[in-house]
Amino acid sequence: MLTHLINGLQLGSIYALVALGYNMVYGIIKLLNFAHGDVIMVGGYIALFALTFGLNPVISALLTVIGCTLLAIIIEKLAYTPLRFAPRLSLLITAIGVSILLQNLAQLFFRAGGRPFPSQLLLPTGSFSLGGVSLAYTSVITILASIVSMILLAVLVKSTKLGKAMRAVSEDQGAAQLMGINVNSIITFTFALGAALAGIGALLYAVRFPLIGPTIGAMLGLKAFVAAVCGGIGSIPGAMLGGYIIGLLEMFIVAAGLSRWVDAVVFLVLICVLMVRPTGFMGRNLMEKV
């Protein structure tokens, strides 16, 4: 039971980190960034190659995070910036296009099959026991890493000038611009920040499921988005909560022996949440302006 709990929390931490990326981007330009999951997939490959190349784990991790950030900035500049004032449908379709492009490029370069990820090179394996419960190092490190990143993010958003600017832009772009905020660079920064978290998420995901393939990002991304919606779009603690809920739920379904139904149940939860409380558990209700 407790093992499942820890496993669920580990999975939930990964979802939470990815969900934050969706959350921030959605909060600022109202775009469901379909490519976010595939940025994670690319991050997985970067980490894989860095580690098998024999680089130091810390340097590999840094490379992964930087790689994801750069990729997100490139995507934002090339594909999303030209559509800043286009209808949201166009933006959404573009995001889907970017996602498929990344998946198929990965498939072209790295072949369709999965590659085993040398997770033992990144994090120590083994476990220790605490009060009679054996805990894997990887689970504990994953949970801690995600909590630390989220606290850092919360501090950044709540109490720095940059964070204030981000909140201002997500509230009202026009007004923010009039106050002398460079909206474009703030949006780019948001993408970069989300992708940096995705990079961390990619590392933790690769440790948890050590098989990197071109399509690992798609399902992970979708479930993380479900987590973001359940928790409440636009709220950092909401994304955390949503991530943990989805992670735990998934683990318990698997524990109950219904692993074939996992995806269906996750989406069913999303539908129920959207029916009952469309803003998520911790989201604010925004009225539509005419």
Minimum separation from the CB atom of position 103 to another protein (A) = 8
Q: How far apart are the first and last CA of the chain?
A: 51
Minimum separation from the CB atom of position 16 to another protein (A) = 18
Longest dimension (CA), the chain: 60
DSSP H or E run through 211: strand 211-212
Binding residue (CB under 8 A) for another protein from 56, 59, 90, 158: 90
- 129, β-bridge pairs: 134
The interface with another protein within residues 207-246 (CB under 8 A) comprises 218, 222, 225-226, 229
The interface with another protein within residues 96-155 (CB under 8 A) comprises 96-98, 100-101, 103-105, 108
Binding residue (CB under 8 A) for another protein from 59, 74, 175, 268: 268
For residues 143 and 64, give the distance between their C-alpha atoms in angstroms, rounded to a whole number. Answer: 19
For residues 73 and 68, give the distance between their C-alpha atoms in angstroms, rounded to a whole number. Answer: 9
Q: What sign results for the dihedral spanned by CA atoms 102, 107, 113, 116?
A: negative
Minimum separation from the CB atom of position 286 to another protein (A) = 13
Q: Kindly give the interhelix angle for 2-29 and 216-231, rounded to the nearest 10 degrees.
A: 80
Q: Binding mask 43-82 vs another protein (x if CB under 8 A, - otherwise)?
A: ------------------------------------x--x
Q: Which is nearer to another protein, 59 or 105 (CB)?
A: 105
For residues 284 and 226, give the distance between their C-alpha atoms in angstroms, rounded to a whole number. Answer: 17
Binding site for another protein (CB under 8 A): 26, 30-32, 79, 82-83, 86-94, 96-98, 100-101, 103-105, 108, 218, 222, 225-226, 229, 260-261, 263-264, 267-268, 270-271, 274-275, 278, 288, 290
